[in-house]
Amino acid sequence: MNTTPASSVEMKDVHLAFGEKEILSGINLSVPQKARLVILGQSGGGKSTLLRLILGILRPTKGEVTFKGLTVSRMSRLRLNRMRQKIGMVYQYSALISSLSVRDNLALPLEELTRKSRDEIDQLVDEKLELVGMADARDKMPAELSGGMRKRIGLARGIIMDPELILYDEPSAGLDPVISSVINELIISLSEKIGATSIIVTHEMDSAFKVATHMAMLYQGTIIAADTPERFKNSDNPVVAQFIAGETEGPILQAPQKT
Ligand SMILES: Nc1ncnc2c1ncn2[C@@H]1O[C@H](COP(=O)(O)OP(=O)(O)OP(=O)(O)O)[C@@H](O)[C@H]1O
Ligand SMILES: [Mg+2]
């Protein structure tokens, strides 16, 4: 059977513990194809962990994560590698290899995972650099770039394989408002241009509302709300309302982690 499921990613009752400590305790989440789902949550709440579960880097202690209808934890190594070629990951701190030029950082996955010629690879690298407005940085080393530039290069690398799903870990955290807006616009235009599904984890409200077509809030190990951005904005759930407003008064405790 080879029908395309309506959801790109699904999580069903996903639990994850590190030792005694349960970080995720029953996540249910469905990410429609081509959606830009923003997952909001406190620092240390398990957002990056959630992305690692989708990539199959971590396995749930209970429950199931599926990508395009296939269970990630039941995939063979070969299938997992094939799946990962369809997923682009944009890391919080760009994670560029410092000893490689921008061109070589972007070319690496193409060289390792495809049989494309050097010319074809160069063309794809240039294309992606163009998309993020960084064509001039092609021959620079990561150390020569500012944080915002590195972030854009990280984004270009995340989409180098034309992924069906792009995972963004705090894409605009720590950037100035202008660069942050540039990144937000890129997230939107990339999802539209390559028709990819996007999952963006963040605790930055401005960015969240700019890019989201769907929103979910992770709190104390579960998804306590999943809705449209409009309904999120007017949510009467006290946790959601407090988080969005950034209030200190409310149900969210200062200490974010469960012990
Ligand atoms: N490999 C690991 N081993 C043990 N504990 C871990 C591991 N990875 C994460 N944790 C713990 O799991 C919790 C959630 O971490 P995670 O990185 O997913 O949070 P986060 O929501 O991404 O936070 P932030 O917004 O600060 O990036 C934290 O308490 C963290 O210490
Ligand atoms: Mg994180």
* Structural domains in the chain plus CATH codes: 1-86+163-259 (3.40.50.300), 97-162 (no CATH)
Is the CB of 174 within 6 Å of ligand 1?
Answer: no
CA distance 245 to 5: 36
Atom 23, ligand 1: which residue's CA is nearest? 44
CA of 57 relative to ligand 2 center, distance in Å: 15
As a whole number, the mean pLDDT across the chain is 90
Burial class (CB in 10 A: 0-12, 13-18, 19+), 242: middle
Answer yes or no: is pLDDT of 16 > 70.
yes
Answer yes or no: is pLDDT of 17 > 90.
yes
Answer yes or no: is pLDDT of 238 > 60.
yes
CA distance 43 to 35: 24
Is the CB of 41 within 6 Å of ligand 1?
Answer: yes
Torsion, Cα 203 206 207 210, to 10 degrees, reads 140
pLDDT in tens, 121-180: 999 999 999 988 899 999 999 999 988 889 889 999 999 998 999 999 998 877 788 888
Instruction: Please give the average per-residue pLDDT across 33-56, as a whole number.
Output: 94
% the chain with pLDDT above 70: 96
- Identify the pLDDT of residue 133: 86
Q: Which ligand is nearest to the CA of 23?
A: 1
Atom 9, ligand 1: which residue's CA is nearest? 49
- Identify the pLDDT of residue 218: 96
Instruction: Please give the average per-residue pLDDT across 208-231, as a whole number.
Output: 95
Is the CB of 171 within 6 Å of ligand 1?
Answer: no
- Identify the pLDDT of residue 176: 80
- Identify the pLDDT of residue 157: 93
In the block, tokens 């249910």 appear at: 28
CA distance 158 to 161: 8
Is the CB of 93 within 6 Å of ligand 1?
Answer: no
CB atoms within 10 A of CB 69: 14
CA of 201 relative to ligand 2 center, distance in Å: 8
Please name the residues in contact with 23: beta carbons below 8 A apart, sequence gap of 6 or more: 16, 17, 46, 49, 221, 258
The total number of residues shown for the chain amounts to 259
Contact 123, 78 (CB under 8 A): no
Answer yes or no: is pLDDT of 251 > 90.
no
The SS3 assignment for 117 reads: coil
Indicate the pLDDT class of residue 1, thresholds 50, 70 and 90: low
